[in-house]
A and B are shown apart, each in its own frame.
Chain A
Amino acid sequence: EAGVTQSPTHLIKTRGQQATLRCSPISGHTSVYWYQQALGLGLQFLLWYDEGEERNRGNFPPRFSGRQFPNYSSELNVNALELEDSALYLCASSLGRFNYEQYFGPGTRLTVT
C-alpha cells in the first residue's frame, strides 16, 4: 500500500512569488493535514481538510490557503512568499476526523530567496 506522497520534493521560489505544494493521502484516508517545520522550530499546524472541507486552520496569515479535491488529495498554496516561509512542509493523512492516527509524507522543502 502506497504511503502519503508529496510533490515536489524541493521547491525554490523568490520573495513575492506563489508556491503550490501537493499531497496525495493513503488510499481510503479522507483527512489531510498540513504542517510547517521551520529550521529550529517545532511542527506548526497549518490546515486540516476532511471530506473536502476545511475543518481547522492554525495561526497563519490568509496567504496560506489550500483545498482538498474529490479524490481527497490536497494542495497548499502560499501567496506573496516571504523569506521566513522557507521550511519543510509536511502533509499527513488519516482515516477520518475522529482521532485516527496520522501518517506523514516525506515533505516538501520550500526555499524562498
Chain B
Amino acid sequence: KQEVTQIPAALSVPEGENLVLNCSFTDSAIYNLQWFRQDPGKGLTSLLLIQSSQREQTSGRLNASLDKSSGRSTLYIAASQPGDSATYLCAVRRSSQDSNYQLIWGAGTKLIIKP
C-alpha cells in the first residue's frame, strides 16, 4: 500500500532564505508526482508535476526533484518571500497499471515565511 509522508509538518524561515520541503513514498512504482500549494481555507494550486521518467522540473523559483529508487521528492524554493507562505502538499499517482489512477496524498508541510 502506497504511503506518502511529508517532513517537516511545519517550517518557519526568514524571508530570503532558500528552503527544501521533503516528500517520501513507500512504493516506487509511481506514474508521476505532483506538488501543490494550498492557501488557508482555499483550494489547491498545482505547482509542478514530475513524470516518473523525469528527474526534476523547474518553474520560476521552484525546483522539484524526483528519485524513484529512494522514494523521495524534494521541492526547493529559492529566495523565499512572505507570499510563499502556504501549505505545500505532494501527491503521488499510482502506476499506470492501476486502472483507478488515483492520487495518494501527503499530509502537507505548513510553510511560514517571516518578513
Stretch of A63-71, A76-84, A98-106 contacting B (4+ beta carbons < 8 Å): A98-106
CB distance from A10 to the nearest CB of B (A): 10
- Is A29's CB within 8 Å of the partner chain B? no
CB distance from B105 to the nearest CB of A (A): 5
User: What bracket does the count of chain A residues touching chain B fall in?
Assistant: 20 to 34
Size of the B side of the interface (Cβ < 8 Å), in residues, is: 23
Q: Which residue of B lies closest to A9 (CB)?
A: B41
CA distance A16 to B13 in the complex (A): 44
CB distance from B111 to the nearest CB of A (A): 16
- Which residues does chain B contribute within 8 Å of A102, judged by CB atoms? 46, 103
- Which residues does chain A contribute within 8 Å of B42, judged by CB atoms? 106-107
Question: B residues near A, CB below 8 A?
Answer: 31-32, 34, 36, 41-46, 49, 89, 91, 93, 96, 100-103, 105-108
17 pairs from A and B in contact (CB 8 Å cutoff): A4-B43, A42-B108, A43-B89, A43-B91, A48-B102, A56-B102, A90-B43, A90-B44, A98-B96, A99-B32, A99-B93, A101-B49, A102-B103, A103-B46, A104-B36, A104-B44, A104-B46
Question: A residues near B, CB below 8 A?
Answer: 4, 6, 41-43, 45, 48, 55-56, 88, 90, 92, 97-99, 101-107, 109
List 13 additional contacts besides A45-B103, A105-B43; criterion CB under 8 Å: A6-B43, A42-B89, A48-B100, A56-B100, A98-B96, A98-B101, A99-B32, A99-B93, A101-B46, A101-B49, A107-B42, A107-B43, A109-B41
